[in-house]
Amino acid sequence: MKKRILWILLIVTCIAAVGSGILYARLFTPAFSKNQPVKLRIRSGWNLDKLATELERAAGIEDKEAFVYWANKLGYKKVWPCTIDIEAGEGLYHFIQKLKTNRHQTANVVIRGSMDKQSLALAVSEKLEINPDSLILFLGEPAGLKPFGVTDTTWACLFIPNTYNLFVNTGLKGFMSRIAQEYRNFWNSTRLDKARKQGLTPIQAAILASIVTKESNKTDEYQNIAGVYINRLRKGMLLQADPTVVFARGRSGRVLGPDLRIQSPYNTYLYKGLPPGPLCIPNKESLEAVLNYTHHNYLYFCAKADFSNYHQFAETLEEHNRNARAYHRALDALP
């Protein structure tokens, strides 16, 4: 009898060992055929079967059914959006644990000055679960934007360039709520007071800052440029800002004589005051430059003839014309 029990125990032990071996093979041996790391973007709305199919396509998972089975067994039943790295030779157990860890993954969304609607939507959709077309559509709907204090013309004023850390599964509503909060944080009492003293609302300050953003890539001359435009506004002069003409024209490139006659409210060679909306998302430096502009008597500026990307400032039209002629002579002398 004892001998029989021993044989039964031996058989059970062997079966358990075989089972353990199979378990190890399923969970800890390489589960993917790709011999190099793969980065996979997992989207909201996927189930385990969809994820398994994408794992087969992107990383060559060897056994989709085993993945679905063990994901359920190990507590990963709902698929969460994230971006995950699949290492060469990785096993199912380690991979599923990473999926569980990444359930609340965050991403850094970088919003830069000079972005337009399309580049903004692309930057956001690359990091969050927001369709770029949905964001573009939303920014063109006055009714949806009204609670944020902007319109489909002034939407870019709402965005303060920065790096925003957000949950990957953040939707459009959550994203816009965060942007609105950052806007309120930026426009604190100190900045609001500075804008008021200049006779500007935050929207007007942002519109002017967008022109400054487009005028130069040299942030150390932003305050001088802002000062020129503020001087012109106060004197009731035309702003005559080339970036507004480029915006009205709808394409980049050198501004030519016929461009100055384009019929558009954005053409500040024809219409006094600020254009109806910003030309882009203004960068932070240009916003600060408008609020803290350099007090001077300059009314004009043009590019320097040394092609340094800096500008020559002038108080009188005569002086400005001399500077402009020098720049154009330098242009004409180019090979």
At 255-282, the pLDDT tens digits run 888 989 999 999 999 999 999 999 999 9
CA pair distance 60, 84, nearest whole angstrom? 15
At 295-320, the pLDDT tens digits run 999 999 999 999 998 999 999 999 99
Residues 6+ apart with CB under 8 A from 9: none
Residue 331's pLDDT band (cuts 50, 70, 90) = confident
3-state helix, strand, coil in the chain (%, to 5): 55, 10, 35
CA atoms within 13 A on the CB side of 170: 23
At 34-75, the pLDDT tens digits run 889 999 999 999 999 999 999 999 999 999 999 999 999 999
CA pair distance 236, 169, nearest whole angstrom? 49
Domains of the chain: 26-104 (3.30.1490.480), 106-186 (no CATH), 199-296 (no CATH)
Cα R_g (the chain), whole angstroms: 30
Residue 17's pLDDT band (cuts 50, 70, 90) = very low
Contact 209, 282 (CB under 8 A): yes
Residue 135, pLDDT above cutoff 90: yes
Predicted local confidence at residue 87, as pLDDT: 92
Is the pTM of the predicted complex or chain greater than 0.75? yes
CA pair distance 232, 195, nearest whole angstrom? 17
